[in-house]
Structure 1
Amino acid sequence: MSDTIYAPVGAEHMAQFAAGDAFAFGIESVDVDRWLATLPQNVARGVFAGGRLTSQMVLQPYTLTDGRASHLFGAIGAVSCPPELRRRGYVEQMLRGACDEMRERGMALAMLHPFKVSFYGRFGWATCMDRAVYRCAPEDLLPFQRRQSGQFTIEDERSIPQLDAIYAQALRGRFGPMVRDAQWWRSEILTTWDGKPRRIAIWRDEQGQGRAYTIYRMEKKPDSTTRMVCREMVALDPVARANLFAFLSQHDSQCEQVEFRAPVDAPVNLLMPNPLRCEVEQHFMLRLVDVEQALASYRFPSAARGTLTLAVADDWLAFNQGVYQIEVADGAAQVRRLPADAPAQISCDVRALAQIYARYLRPSAAAAFGIITASSRDALAVADTLFAGLAPFSFDFF
């Protein structure tokens, strides 16, 4: 593959890029063109062989919060390769080129939504969050009508600052929520993939303060029934949450089913007279592109104190492989790379470390299942304390 190169996709190849996406994801060309028109310039990437585009993706710099600090990360999407060129290593070369680029640009983290977990797992990505998907009839939520207060108003994009304030406060403390700008709200949250508007409802308490919102759309199912799909449903307190459920129940004449998503550690069904149907879906995968930088920029719990040595194996990005000492105080860490033969308290591969980093996997649970090894229970206790927090979550998709 000496004649191949990872590079930005220029204007002369964008028609091929669009056609490749339309074919790979079964999307109408007009919808692909609309999506590409919303993208910033110079985010399309590919591997070229003899001048031919052999694999392609989009790489965009976004910001996420770990619950206590913000991190620039590389958002990878629309990865595809024509069937006639698959299994030749083009996608792997493209992902490696993207990791090199991200590291040079100061992005220690990379996230994507996989078509197949095991495919990206080969290259060091690991599932870093799940989402609980609830489905019910609107009538199942009727008991919440007895607890109504305040009022709902139907809003438009002028309410983005209010929505963003509620969103940020409701998801504080979690790893994964994106830091959004107004353009992201307009193009990704308030409208659908094919440009259709979603409905915005904000609940305000009796003092007029916005405390909850839902953004939703009615969708026809193949069996001709209608489903109310909540793109987001966010509340700041129990009263606000009860009013959201009451609002959903008011749509009983318009739909047969309501669907919404929540963090897996949110005890939604404990609020219900009868449990709602709930499925857990895997969401993003995380890659630590630069382990040392990722650990150094991580914000640990403010009360956490301790020193931990980690032996990290990375069979794909060899520069990450090594032993790291983390000294944590006041939420910040000093990270030092130790000699390769230095003793380590925790030994893991980069995939398990990504899951611990995202607080998707508790170190003590990982050790109990043989995913990592620990020199002592004391070391595990320190690791559990350093990487403690709420379950990761994100409403977003890219």
Structure 2
Amino acid sequence: MQIRQISAEERVDHIFPLSTYAFSPSPWADSDRVTYLSRVGYFATATGLIAEEGGRTVAAATALPMRQNVRGVVRDMAGVAGVVSHPSARRKGFVRQLVTRLIGQMRDEGCAVSALYPFRPSFYARLGYVGVPRVRTATFAPEGLSHLLKADLPGEVERLSMAEGFDEVNALTLRMLGERHGFSVYDETRTADFRERETQWVALARSGGEVVGAVLYRIDSYGGDLIAQDLLTTGPLGRALLLQYFARHVDQVGRVTVKIGTDEVPELWGTDFAVLTESRVDFPSHGAPMVRLLTMQALNGLHAGADVGVTVEVTDDDLLAGRYRLTGDAGTLTVEETKDDPQATLTCAGISALVYGVLDPVEVVLRGFGRFDGDAIEALGALFPKRMPYLFVDF
């Protein structure tokens, strides 16, 4: 088996057959290949690796250049996607070798963190990834928001096509990238792909000329469902304007479904408001995302929870292994390599879970991701207080 990097144009011959078989209804039509070919330009900045055996492509993996907010600081991120293999090549270690090579290459090219949606979390856990929350959905009848129809809100909502609203939605996501922990965006090359997709409406909420909220949605049928993507808002006013907009569909749709972050509390959107809030996680189609650090230097400059210090050793990971002194100074984290004896021993998943805020030190120990003494538990908990990330990744 040999691994090599391919160009965007080569994806059609080497990755399209595998990814279409893995993720789409098959056999596929010739039109599917034509559609894929028309989009290869949007992968010009992606890194695609393939495994070949006997001159035949048997597995592939792609890293999309992205950026992510990690505790208030935006880092370059490798978004791993399109991990596929031919049925005859599965369970042979090809995908493991591909992903290991891919994230190492992306680290060398400057990416500090990585994220993906797993087909099987335990597989990626062995590669150092740890789970973060999946976005939830809120489903409700629009009449439940009827009280908002009487509200005189200082703003308005405009309905636009994707082409018309793309620039303003993109600007809002870039603003939220700088403000919201876990938020992620593609690079300009990949993001441009969404401008051409006319399968969704854009609802833009403005107040005083400023965009304060946006949501992409479609309506499946008269009397059916209004199906919305992530509810993107800069605060309560943007949320209220978009919910009021949903309420105005009371005589058109029977239900509204919208994606929300873990900090949203839909049951408080109204009195006597009936809503189903859920997060579905199953495999392989509805996995919760996973993340990992690619370098310990990614921690420099992050927002620290306290002015304390602790020495840790990271083990069992080729990219992170070593001893480090982590120090909080005036709310900012610094990382230095050290030869001092460690107060805590962590796996890659353990330090990644602390940095992303999804586990506290006690939970890290219980999950088997580390061993600490009492002082280290307190210091790490102070440096990295729990803080649930909102992993928004696309339009």
Is TM more than 0.5 here? yes
* Deviation of the 1:236 alpha carbon: 2.4
* Deviation of the 1:307 alpha carbon: 0.9
Specify the alignment match of 2:147 in structure 1: 143
1:354-375 deviation per Cα after TM superposition (whole angstroms, max 9, x unaligned): 1211112233443466654331
Q: Determine what percentage of the aligned residue pairs are the same residue.
A: 20
* Deviation of the 1:25 alpha carbon: 0.7
CA RMSD after TM alignment: 2.8
Specify the alignment match of 1:59 in structure 2: 63
2:291 alignment partner AA:
L
After superposition, the Cα gap between the structure-2 partners of 1:369 and 1:24, relative to the gap in structure 1 and judged at 3 Å, is closer
Specify the alignment match of 1:210 in structure 2: 211
92-101 or 172-181: bigger deviation:
172-181
1:286 alignment partner AA:
V
Specify the alignment match of 2:180 in structure 1: 174
Q: 1:299 aligns with which of 294, 297, 302?
A: 302
1:69 alignment partner AA:
V
Task: Note if contact 2:42-2:190 (Cα within 8 Å) is conserved in structure 1.
Answer: no
CA distance in 1, matches of 2:125, 2:366: 21
Q: 1:83 aligns with which of 82, 87, 111?
A: 87
Q: 1:285 aligns with which of 290, 297, 302?
A: 290
After superposition, the Cα gap between the structure-2 partners of 1:148 and 1:362, relative to the gap in structure 1 and judged at 3 Å, is farther
> Aligned pair 1:155/2:160, yes or no?
yes
The residue matched to 2:67 in structure 1 has which SS? strand
**Stretches of structure 2 lacking an aligned partner (at least 5 in a row):** 281-286
TM-score (norm 1): 0.84
Q: 1:381 aligns with which of 375, 378, 381?
A: 378
Task: Note if contact 1:313-1:320 (Cα within 8 Å) is conserved in structure 2.
Answer: yes
> Aligned pair 1:71/2:75, yes or no?
yes
**Stretches of structure 1 lacking an aligned partner (at least 5 in a row):** none
Specify the alignment match of 2:238 in structure 1: 240
The residue matched to 1:278 in structure 2 has which SS? strand
After superposition, the Cα gap between the structure-2 partners of 1:225 and 1:114, relative to the gap in structure 1 and judged at 3 Å, is farther
Task: Note if contact 2:60-2:82 (Cα within 8 Å) is conserved in structure 1.
Answer: yes
CA distance in 1, matches of 2:210, 2:382: 36
* Deviation of the 1:294 alpha carbon: 2.5
CA distance in 2, matches of 1:13, 1:262: 34
Specify the alignment match of 1:49 in structure 2: 53
2:378 alignment partner AA:
A
After superposition, the Cα gap between the structure-2 partners of 1:186 and 1:147, relative to the gap in structure 1 and judged at 3 Å, is farther
1:285 alignment partner AA:
M
The residue matched to 2:159 in structure 1 has which SS? strand
* Deviation of the 1:277 alpha carbon: 0.6
Specify the alignment match of 1:9 in structure 2: 6
CA distance in 1, matches of 2:19, 2:319: 33
1:24-73 deviation per Cα after TM superposition (whole angstroms, max 9, x unaligned): 11255245444434321563211122332121122222211224211111
After superposition, the Cα gap between the structure-2 partners of 1:106 and 1:373, relative to the gap in structure 1 and judged at 3 Å, is same
After superposition, the Cα gap between the structure-2 partners of 1:347 and 1:144, relative to the gap in structure 1 and judged at 3 Å, is farther
Task: Note if contact 1:313-1:321 (Cα within 8 Å) is conserved in structure 2.
Answer: yes
CA distance in 1, matches of 2:91, 2:367: 33
After superposition, the Cα gap between the structure-2 partners of 1:366 and 1:125, relative to the gap in structure 1 and judged at 3 Å, is closer
Specify the alignment match of 1:97 in structure 2: 101
Specify the alignment match of 1:309 in structure 2: 311
CA distance in 1, matches of 2:16, 2:366: 47
CA distance in 1, matches of 2:227, 2:121: 26
Specify the alignment match of 2:112 in structure 1: 108
Specify the alignment match of 2:256 in structure 1: 258
1:276 alignment partner AA:
V
CA distance in 1, matches of 2:310, 2:266: 36
After superposition, the Cα gap between the structure-2 partners of 1:78 and 1:99, relative to the gap in structure 1 and judged at 3 Å, is same
1:278 alignment partner AA:
T
Task: Note if contact 1:6-1:94 (Cα within 8 Å) is conserved in structure 2.
Answer: yes
* Deviation of the 1:160 alpha carbon: 4.1
* Deviation of the 1:132 alpha carbon: 1.8
After superposition, the Cα gap between the structure-2 partners of 1:13 and 1:160, relative to the gap in structure 1 and judged at 3 Å, is closer
1:320-375 deviation per Cα after TM superposition (whole angstroms, max 9, x unaligned): 23322112223443322333xx5333332211221211112233443466654331
CA distance in 1, matches of 2:193, 2:331: 35
After superposition, the Cα gap between the structure-2 partners of 1:13 and 1:389, relative to the gap in structure 1 and judged at 3 Å, is closer
1:216 alignment partner AA:
Y
Task: Note if contact 1:325-1:336 (Cα within 8 Å) is conserved in structure 2.
Answer: yes
Specify the alignment match of 2:275 in structure 1: 276
Task: Note if contact 2:46-2:62 (Cα within 8 Å) is conserved in structure 1.
Answer: no
74-83 or 47-56: bigger deviation:
47-56
After superposition, the Cα gap between the structure-2 partners of 1:86 and 1:185, relative to the gap in structure 1 and judged at 3 Å, is closer
CA distance in 2, matches of 1:13, 1:372: 40
2:278 alignment partner AA:
E
TM-score (norm 2): 0.85
Task: Note if contact 1:18-1:33 (Cα within 8 Å) is conserved in structure 2.
Answer: no
Task: Note if contact 1:367-1:373 (Cα within 8 Å) is conserved in structure 2.
Answer: yes
